[in-house]
């Protein structure tokens, strides 16, 4: 029987090596391992994966075997060769073609969030985020790091769409929102949550309020507009007039800002909304 010390040491190793698991997942997504196996008509051996991805033999074998050990891939040995295919987890959430794929959000996490967490000790010492060290932009300019290129802005927007494709409907169904004919989704990005809302509540109209760059991107790439029931409004919710609504939704918004900023935003909403006002904050 394992001693308490053995358990503690195992836990220590699990914690200290956790970043390696994340990097295996991120690398396999970036290289297209799960997409390739999803499209293949049968399991592939490592040589076939190498040929199609243009990666090194040794590195690919190690990555595939590690994915198998993490239950991200299934492996079957035939004639002395290992053949790989996706598990239910990777087919559902990691392949590009799945309707609930989380690939873009994972790549955003790998390229933005992960880099920030590499400066956690400095963040604790200084009491502020480390975007300057990680990306070369001032810490006050929060979304300058997230939106540092058109490609990253699109990836982040699509990543949020992916998140809401999994949990958006259940979140919105937790309360009966049918009593609110006009709804405003502040910082609603590409409109994925808004689309779930109009689908769930046919009598509601939803306006997504976001920056001009995000609204333009949503209209160009997200294909989420529903004539007459889902619309977009451009602006800065800290400064510009807010659309009038019966219900305001702030989904994954308040955690980005200081308490003072959040208080100011909520006060602006309180002054704008109708007498029977409601605000829903989703974290």
Catalytic positions, written as ranges: 255
Token pair 């959040």: residue: 262
**169, 170, 171, 175: CA torsion to nearest 10:** 100
List, in order, residues 6 or more apart from 53 with CB less than 8 Å away: 31, 32, 33, 36, 60
- DSSP state at residue 110: I
- Chain-centroid distance of CA 102 in Å reads 7
Angle at 79 between CA 57 and CA 91, to 5 degrees: 60
3-state secondary structure of 260: helix
| Strand 73-78 to 81-86 pairing | antiparallel
Sheet holding 230-234, edge to edge: 230-234, 205-210, 182-186, 247-251, 278-282
Token pair 């040491």: residue: 9
């Amino acid at each position: 029987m394992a001693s308490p010390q053995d358990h503690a040491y195992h836990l220590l190793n699990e914690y200290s090596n956790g970043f390696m698991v994340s990097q295996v997942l991120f690398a396999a997504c970036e290289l297209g391992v799960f997409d390739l196996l999803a499209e293949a008509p049968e399991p592939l051996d490592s040589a076939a994966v190498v040929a199609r991805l243009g990666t090194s033999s040794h590195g690919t074998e190690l990555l595939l075997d590690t994915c198998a050990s993490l239950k991200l891939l299934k492996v079957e040995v035939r004639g002395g060769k290992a053949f790989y295919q996706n598990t239910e987890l990777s087919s559902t959430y990691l392949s590009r073609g799945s309707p609930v794929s989380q690939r873009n959000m994972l790549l955003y996490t790998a390229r933005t969030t992960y880099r920030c967490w590499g400066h956690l000790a400095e963040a604790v010492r200084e009491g502020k985020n480390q975007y300057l060290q990680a990306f070369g932009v001032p810490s006050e300019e929060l979304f300058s790091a997230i939106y540092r290129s058109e490609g990253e802005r699109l990836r982040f927007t699509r990543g949020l769409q992916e998140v809401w494709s999994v949990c958006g409907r259940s979140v919105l169904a937790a309360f009966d929102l049918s009593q609110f004919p006009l709804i405003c989704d502040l910082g609603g990005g590409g409109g994925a949550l808004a689309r779930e809302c109009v689908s769930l509540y046919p009598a509601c109209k939803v306006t997504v309020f976001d920056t001009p760059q995000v609204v333009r991107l949503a209209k160009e790439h997200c294909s989420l507009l529903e004539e007459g029931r889902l619309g977009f409004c451009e602006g800065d919710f800290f400064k510009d007039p807010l659309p009038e609504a019966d219900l305001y939704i702030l989904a994954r918004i308040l955690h980005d800002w200081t308490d003072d900023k959040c208080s100011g935003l909520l006060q602006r909403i309180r002054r704008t909304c109708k007498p029977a006002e409601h605000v829903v904050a989703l974290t």
